[in-house]
Amino acid sequence: MTQSTRETERKYEVPDTGGFPTLAALSREGKGADGKNKTKGKSKDKGKKRARAESPGLSLVDGGAHDLDAVYYDTDDLRLARSAATLRRRTGGPDAGWHLKLPLPGDDRDEIRAPLQDGVPERLRELALSRTRGARLQPVVRIRSRRSVRDLVDADGTVLAEVALDCVDADSLRPEGGHASWAELEVELAAGHGDPALLDRVESALGAEGFTRSGSASKLARALSDTAADAAGDSGAKSAPRTASGPRPGTAGAEFHAYFTEQVRALVDLDPAVRRGLPDSVHRMRVACRRLRSCLRSYRSLVDREVTDPVRADLRWLGGELGAERDQEVLAQRLREGVDRLPGELVLGPVSARLQAWDVTKAAEARERSLAALSSPRYVALLDTLDRIVADPPLRAGASKKAAKALPKALGKEFDRLADRVDRALRTPAGPERDAALHEARKKAKRLRYAAEAARPALGKPAKRLSKSVKSVQKALGDHHDGVVARDALRRHAVAAHAAGEPGFTWGLLYGREQAAAEAREESLPELWRAAARARPRKA
């Protein structure tokens, strides 16, 4: 069994004077030079400045001391450390056990905990798979810390943050490693009480006492560096491995590489969230797959297709496996909302109960499909291939052209493909054939939108304008397609209800509403498309 928490913390170097900070500047907040409370209303800033002036100062309260003993695990080539993740088995302190820490933007990290046991818990091994790729996990560093804790509290005694001074001894467990000692200060926001802006205030107070931000993202990163182990580059960078000499800045290849690298990182980072079933994680990971596919397809003139075409096929497979779960989420929510909007007297029979039973079964099947894909050898091989492309992009000669010239040309081609699909769909008579044609146009709209996103750093406002206008078309086409899927599901529910002797009135009513909404979306499409056409990329 595992538990997860979100931690927000910063680390600091301890000055030569040593000792615990007083944070005197925080204790004086809200008071003037004479020690009296400031009056409100004298500042033109009615936001943060006034809030601080009206609040009493903060203080430190002794939180005790702990002896912590942690053994950190990683692969032989330090794949966790290279992605700013850590896995440790720690004894001592209030949270003894196994801890897997995964990086998030800013100062945040997800920490997943498991009870103490001899070997690495299988659940934590699974959550680390997108980084380890199944390589053997072994002890790499032992870190022992003498921790002194102070709680940062407000006037009511509410704990806002924990300030911990650690005296650290690190021993490498790798053949070439040695020993290192240092002192560091950690400031971690209290769960449920901390305000992220508080960290800035604490940092300012610490700066006045000689404390400076640490250059290491974690104790492990510093230990690997200071014990002369094979450290992970810049001690906590979140990027995938890269070659020393990448594409020349300002070229089309450089823009392609930057966007591709960003999406590979997103794919790796979202893997644990999908395994844990976190909200919106499947959707976001599926979008990362689509963005990678679109990047490889739209800018295929820049890369060696013998290398990238098989990758596109694997990304399409992964997106499809994840899509079953995401599509069920969207469809079930749409049908439930349709029922909820109906007056009670129009809901005849066990409509909600039938929807719930159907969703439980389908969602479980789709969930198994997603997890099976993430545990498959094909998925692990895909991640390895993506890393190789990031480290050594298979760029063709055209990638050396200036981005401002090459990217608009690629976007123009994608735009023309979308225009052809939209025109074809609008000429097709209403019915299943038009529905299919609109769905194909939707897929082309997504591709163009993601291609414009990739080009935005180089092309600026024109790419932003194109992405925004195409997104409107894509949304309308997406709503239309979701309606097509919903009508099919409603028809099947109506058939099943009829076979069970239940009223079919409500199912038919919902079907009719979806049909009317689809017709309205089709009527709005020409105007949306004319607006998008005005944003067509111009040749450089």
pLDDT tens digits along 79-88? 999 999 999 9
Does 42 have pLDDT greater than 50? no
State the Cα–Cα distance between residues 148 and 20, nearest whole angstrom. Answer: 9
The alpha carbon of 540 is separated from its chain's Cα centroid by a whole number of angstroms, namely 34
- Read off the pLDDT of residues 199-238 as tens digits, 9 standing for 90 and up: 999 999 999 999 999 988 899 999 999 996 444 444 343 3
Residue 145 has pLDDT above 50, yes or no: yes
Q: According to the model, what pLDDT value does residue 536 have?
A: 85
Structure tokens at 207: 């700066």
Please state the rounded mean pLDDT for residues 282-295.
Answer: 96
Q: What is the per-residue pLDDT for 191?
A: 84
Longest dimension (CA), the chain: 83
Segment among 172-181, 303-312, 471-480 with least mean pLDDT: 172-181
Rounded CA gap, 379 and 21, in Å?
49
pLDDT band at 245 (very low <50, low <70, confident <90, very high): low
Nearest CA-CA partner of 514 in 481, 473, 470: 481
What share of the chain in percent tops pLDDT 70?
Answer: 91
Cα dist. 83→91, 275, 511 in Å?
25, 18, 49
Res. 27 pLDDT band, cuts 50 70 90: confident
- pLDDT at position 169 is 97
pLDDT tens digits, one per residue of 322-369: 999 999 999 999 999 999 999 999 999 999 999 999 999 999 999 999
Q: Residue 86's closest CA among 235, 254, 228, 298? A: 235
Token pair 């309260």 in the structure block, residue: 61
Give the pLDDT of residue 29.
61
Q: Are 425 and 438 in contact (CB under 8 A)?
A: yes
Q: Are strands 108-114 and 86-91 parallel, antiparallel or unpaired?
A: unpaired
Residue 239 banded pLDDT, cuts 50, 70, 90:
very low
What does the block give as tokens for 466? 């194109």
Give residue 254's Cα distance to chain centre.
23
Flag whether pLDDT at 119 surpasses 80. yes
Least confident of 153-157, 377-381, 398-402: 153-157
Question: Alpha helix locations (H) across 61-218?
Answer: 79-82, 122-127, 129-132, 196-208
> For the packed helices 461-499 and 432-459, what is the interaxial angle rounded to 10 degrees?
150
Amino acid letter at 79? R
Q: Tell me the two tokens of residue 513.
A: 């509403």
pLDDT of residue 2: 80
What are the beta bridge partners of residue 103?
A: 109
CA angle 435, 438, 443 (to 5 degrees): 130
In whole angstroms, give the CA distance from residue 439 to residue 110. 38
Mean pLDDT in residue range 27-44: 49
Q: What is the pLDDT of residue 229?
A: 45
pLDDT of residue 314: 98
pTM across the whole model: 0.85
CB-based contact 304:396 (threshold 8 Å): yes
Q: What's the pLDDT tens digit per position in 470-516?
A: 999 999 999 999 999 999 999 999 999 999 999 999 999 999 999 99
Written in H, E and C, the secondary structure of 49-103 is HHHHHHCCCCEEEEEEEEEEEEEEEECCCCHHHHCCCEEEEEECCCCCEEEEEEE
Confidence grade of residue 125 (pLDDT, cut at 50, 70, 90): very high
Question: Can you tell me whether residue 215 is helix, strand or coil?
Answer: coil
Q: Which amino acid is at 285?
A: M
4-13, 261-270, 492-501: segment of lowest average pLDDT = 4-13
What pLDDT sits at residue 46?
Answer: 45
* 8 Å CB contact between 209 and 22: yes
DSSP 31: B
pLDDT of residue 439: 95
Spell out a b/e string for 431-458, using b for 16 or more CB atoms within 10 Å of the CB, else e: eeebbebbbebbbbbbbbbbbbbbbbeb
Report the pLDDT value the prediction gives residue 168, as an integer from 0 to 100.
Answer: 96
3-state secondary structure of 410: helix
Beta bridge partners of 143: 70, 170
Percentage of the chain beyond pLDDT 90 is 80
Q: Which residues pair with 13 in a beta bridge?
A: 184, 212
H/E run at residue 160: strand 159-172
With vertex at residue 108, the alpha carbon angle to CA 387 and CA 129, rounded to the nearest 5 degrees, is: 35
Average pLDDT value over all residues in the chain: 89
